[in-house]
Amino acid sequence: MAVGGALVLLVTGMTRTYPGPTGPHAATASPSPSAAHAAASNTFRQIYLPDLLVIEPTGLSSAQLKKLSRISGVRSMLSADGAAIKLGNAKKPVNVLGVNPEQFRSWTPLATASDQRLWTALQRGHFVASDTLARQRRLHPGTTYRLGSTGQQRMILGGSAPLGIEGIGALVSSKYSAGLGLIAGVLALISAPGDSMAALTKAVRHIVGKPATLISLRSQQQQQLPQNPKASGSRPSTYLQLFQESAARYCPGMSWTVLAAIGQIESGDQSNPGVSSAGAMGPMQFLPSTWAEWGITAFGETGAPNILDPFDAVPSAARLLCAAGAGTSAGLRGAIFAYNHATWYVNEVLALAEEYARDYG
């Protein structure tokens, strides 16, 4: 994709991960009411589960965007500007998206969406880098860098975090898109949980035509788990099996689909298991203090419970949920709320659990 032979947007895929509330992560709380944490941000109340990524080389028109939003089954859609531009003195360009901060945060990884400082910085005209780019380029928050095809803009780095879209190095507010040479509407994210991927792709292709690139973002629950030859006994080989067996062993009254939904929302099934702004980590995003109380070694693993090991983390989450009441239908909502203190989070977990029940019945 090129503009004037100089700007190229290289987006190769997206990690399907989801946002959570501002403040300490509720997976960090014990079921005890006295362990309640701060409430979610008043401005952040929604999770969108991206199903399809659309990349249009010359940008999607307003008419196309309107048609895409009206496709049957589409729950929500978001567009972004973008291009590859220079950052600092480095010769290699960086793929930058121009976004509406308050809207785009709902489509980013949980730890990122939860960090209010990042989104406030974007609103103030700073830029946010991916954690990968910040590490590779040794970027420092608070430092001013030149951005743009000719380095004509000076912007402060407001912070870094996982951005969720593979190949994207930084975000800026869309107010600065034109000045940085970004292509308007080059990318769109679509959430359509009720549609089959085949039907959704066909409808989108009819609107955007052949030049556009379409990338499915739906979770691959059958992805293989890392195997440990030293582990004893038989154990699950996929995340789907791990959720099913963990629920059956450690919370028999709870559907495995609840664990699957939480695992997907928290880390995209370990696609983004890093440390959140609140200090939570691993595939089920525990705080170390909570892990010390609830973490167990399971499924033939050896040694102390490992917060980063899905074979330990998923059954540990099942234990925590069960202790909070998830083993009964009457206690399920309260248990999910204990895991992450936001009513909308509870609703999203249950809605995604229903989707898994339909898909994997």
How does pLDDT run across 83-125, given as a tens digit for each residue? 999 998 888 999 999 999 989 998 887 678 878 899 999 999 9
Burial of 229 (0-12, 13-18, 19+ CB in 10 A): exposed
Tokens of 74: 């589409």
Residues 246 and 45: their CA atoms lie apart, in Å, by 29
In the block, tokens 């987006």 appear at: 11
For the cut 60, the answer to whether the pLDDT of residue 273 exceeds it is no
Residue 215 CB coordination number (10 Å) = 16
Nearest to 293 by CA among 262, 319, 331, 273: 319
Q: Which amino acid is at 314?
A: V
Q: Dihedral of CA 187/157/124/280: which sign? A: positive
Whether 182 contacts 98, CB under 8 Å: yes
pTM of the model as a whole: 0.70
- Assigned fold of 239-360: Lysozyme (1.10.530)
Residue 343 CB coordination number (10 Å) = 14
How does the average pLDDT of the chain come out, rounded? 81
For the cut 60, the answer to whether the pLDDT of residue 78 exceeds it is yes
**Confidence (pLDDT) at 146:** 93
**To the nearest whole percent, how much of the chain has pLDDT over 90?**
49
pLDDT interval class at 151 (50, 70, 90): low
Whether 16 contacts 317, CB under 8 Å: no
Per-position b or e across 308-339, b if 16+ CB within 10 A of its CB: ebbbbbbbbbbbbbbbbbbbeeebbbbbbbbb
Q: Are strands 170-173 and 94-99 parallel, antiparallel or unpaired?
A: parallel
Residues 14 and 245: their CA atoms lie apart, in Å, by 28
For the cut 50, the answer to whether the pLDDT of residue 77 exceeds it is yes
Render pLDDT for 8-62 as a digit per residue (tens, 0 to 9).
444 544 444 333 332 333 443 333 322 222 233 334 566 677 889 999 989 999 9
Whether 245 contacts 84, CB under 8 Å: no
Which DSSP letter does residue 232 get? -
Burial of 32 (0-12, 13-18, 19+ CB in 10 A): exposed
Whether 236 contacts 227, CB under 8 Å: no
**Confidence (pLDDT) at 20:** 32
Residue 283 CB coordination number (10 Å) = 27
Residues of the chain with CATH 1.10.530.10: 239-360
Residues 120 and 260: their CA atoms lie apart, in Å, by 32
φ, ψ of residue 22 to 5 degrees: the values are -70, 150
**Confidence (pLDDT) at 29:** 38
Whether 267 contacts 283, CB under 8 Å: yes
End-to-end CA distance of the chain: 41
